[in-house]
Amino acid sequence: MKDLAMIPPGSTLGMLGGGQLGRMTALAAARLGYRTHVFTNEPDSPCAQVCAEATVADFTDQRALTAFAAAVDVVTLEWENVPPEALVVLAGQILVRPGAGVLAVTRDRILEKSFVNRLGIETTPWRRAGSAADVARATAELGRPAVLKAARLGYDGKGQVLLGEDSDPAAAWRQLAGDHGLDAVVEQFVDYACEISVIVARGPDGRRRGYPTVENQHEHHILARTIVPARISPALAARAEDIAAQITEALDVVGLLAVEMFVTRDGRVLVNELAPRPHNSGHWTLDACATSQFEQLVRAVCGLPLGPTDRACDAVMENLIGDQVGRWPELIAEPGARLHLYGKREVRPGRKLGHVTWLGRTE
């Protein structure tokens, strides 16, 4: 039986992971009167700077996990690669939302794509690969270019090898897997018209609210820009929103699910990836929606009514990656720009240090 009890303001939200997604969730939780207690292995994390309590420990530290579970009223996460063993410890003591079942699917590309395909929803064509021979067979079937990806623990382009026209499958496999066994997938390189995403919130009572479809532009495998709304037909946007709702429902998500998709040149919508947490492509909701994705996550996991998800205006969000954060003095002086910085001390290439949203901009 599901626990439908409301977790009221004044309660403590447990947050797994200490990055900017946790930070912005903690800020939204505070507005509603919640305390946040973060569990992270990073000292002085972006999230801990705005939390009532922080546990700095490894996700294998069962004692720390047990104490954390005892100190909070519900657990959510900003990082989907929390080790399953940690989730088992937590789930024995406290509500974890979204639950271990959702995370088991979304942390593994093979399970994730299989799950989506079983719903009758198209993904990028893909094959499972556990050896160089599998890679050779997959590229023969799918064509080239293709991408070899580790099934688990990849993000922002990490754990990926491009299989170009001249690539040697064996070399690619060695590059990804080294001498170890590894679960991987080969994905066809889709010649898409654009990348889009939809974020859906769902409460413990099954009520659901989706944000509008947005368009994403990546650079070096990292999200660079989100354009709101996506510059696609209303029919395609509706199709994308329907797909995201279906998957959220089928996975029985309590919390948020972000669904990344491709729109192909021939007008199909293919699911690329799922993320059961706030998503970079939803940062614009902080400034252009009555309820941001972060507040919505708090509402969903605490069993509060979900808030409105309409956009007040068009918007463009850009990430500030690495030394792009140096643009802050110009951005903070710009009346139409809303600047968000994450409190990270160290500027490294590829590191997300902040973002900016322009309201009323269309590209």
List, as one string, the DSSP characters of 56-75.
E--TT-HHHHHHHHHH-SEE
Q: Least distance in Å: CB of 10 to a second copy? A: 7
List, as one string, the DSSP characters of 157-205.
TTTEEEE-TT--HHHHHHHHHTTS---EEEEE---EEEEEEEEEEE-TT
Structure tokens at 140: 């023969």
Contacting residues toward a second copy, per CB under 8 A: 6, 8-10, 23, 26-27, 30-35, 48-52, 290, 299, 304-305, 307-308, 328-329, 332-333, 335-336, 338-343, 345, 354, 359
Cα–Cα distance for residue pair 270/195, rounded to 1 Å: 10
Side-chain half-sphere of 273: how many Cα atoms within 13 Å?
Answer: 20
Q: Is the dihedral of CA 35, 40, 46, 49 positive or negative?
A: positive
Q: Is the dihedral of CA 305, 306, 310, 313 positive or negative?
A: positive
CB atoms under 10 Å from CB of 166, counted, come to 6
Measured distance between the N- and C-terminal CA atoms of the chain, rounded to whole angstroms: 47
Cα–Cα distance for residue pair 172/164, rounded to 1 Å: 10
Q: What is Dmax (Cα atoms) for the chain?
A: 59
List, as one string, the DSSP characters of 299-322.
HHHTTPPPPP--BSS-EEEEEEEG
Structure tokens at 242: 């329907």
- Burial (CB count <10 Å: 0-12, 13-18, 19+), residue 125: middle
Residue 194 identity (one-letter amino acid):
C
Structure tokens at 22: 């946790």
**Residues with Cβ within 8 Å of residue 32, at least 6 apart in sequence:** 9, 295, 298, 299, 304
Phi, psi of 38 (to 5 degrees): -95, 140
Residue 229 identity (one-letter amino acid):
P
Beta partners for residue 333, in sequence order: none
Q: Least distance in Å: CB of 306 to a second copy? A: 9
